[in-house]
């Protein structure tokens, strides 16, 4: 008699365990294929090839020099990090009328997932008259122009 009772208890417990251990599974998730898939984002434009000389500075050297012909333009690129609030600015008030300096939109490494990628501030330098001119660029916050953390003095010789 004892043996039959054990099987009965095991059968009851086993049945309840099996019923409790096997919850209903959710329906399978099927991939949804949109009827109008979104197009991939457009590729980043390739920067135009510069026919003018390019002067690239890493922002750590205190001075540099360049030589231009009167009437010639050059692209000046200075490495910086705009996410810190600091930016490169021209601090020379009047570059003696010998050169025109125009700030342009910066450029970054086009790799979108790269953290800390370099960013370059761009200036177009156009030589107007022969002679020499010293340009001072400061790396500062706009509200702290008088407290630059770095500066570069660029000596430009303009030839006829």
Exposure of 72 in the CB half-sphere (CA atoms within 13 A): 19
What confidence tier does 139 reach under pLDDT thresholds 50, 70, 90?
very high
Of these ranges, 63-72, 96-105, 118-127, the one predicted with the greatest mean pLDDT is 63-72
13: region left, alpha or beta (phi > 0 left; psi from -120 to 50 alpha)? alpha
- If one compares 137 and 2, the residue with the highest pLDDT of the two is 137
Exposed / middle / buried, residue 70 (Cβ in 10 Å: 0-12, 13-18, 19+)? middle
Say if residue 102's pLDDT is above 80.
yes
41-65: per-residue pLDDT in tens?
Answer: 544 444 444 578 999 998 888 999 9
What is the pLDDT at residue 30? 58
User: Please, what is the average pLDDT of the chain?
Assistant: 77
The domain 54-159 having CATH identifier 2.60.40.2020: the answer here is yes
70-85: per-residue pLDDT in tens?
Answer: 999 999 999 988 778 8
Q: Which residue has the tokens 């457009």?
A: 42
Q: Domain extents for the chain? A: 54-159
């Amino acid at each position: 008699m004892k043996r039959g009772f054990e099987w009965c208890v095991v059968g009851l417990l086993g049945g309840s365990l099996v019923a409790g251990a096997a919850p209903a599974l959710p329906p399978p998730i099927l991939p949804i294929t949109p009827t109008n898939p979104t197009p991939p984002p457009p590729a980043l434009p390739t920067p135009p090839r510069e026919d003018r000389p390019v002067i690239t500075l890493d922002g750590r050297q205190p001075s540099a020099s360049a030589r231009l012909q009167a009437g010639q333009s050059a692209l000046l690129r200075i490495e910086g990090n705009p996410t810190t609030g600091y930016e490169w600015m021209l601090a020379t008030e009047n570059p003696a009328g010998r050169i025109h300096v125009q700030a342009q939109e910066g450029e970054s490494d086009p790799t979108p997932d790269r953290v800390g990628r370099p960013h370059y501030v761009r200036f177009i330098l156009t030589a107007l008259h022969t002679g020499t001119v010293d340009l001072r660029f400061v790396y500062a916050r706009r509200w702290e122009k008088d407290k630059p953390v770095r500066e570069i003095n660029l000596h430009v010789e303009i030839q006829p």
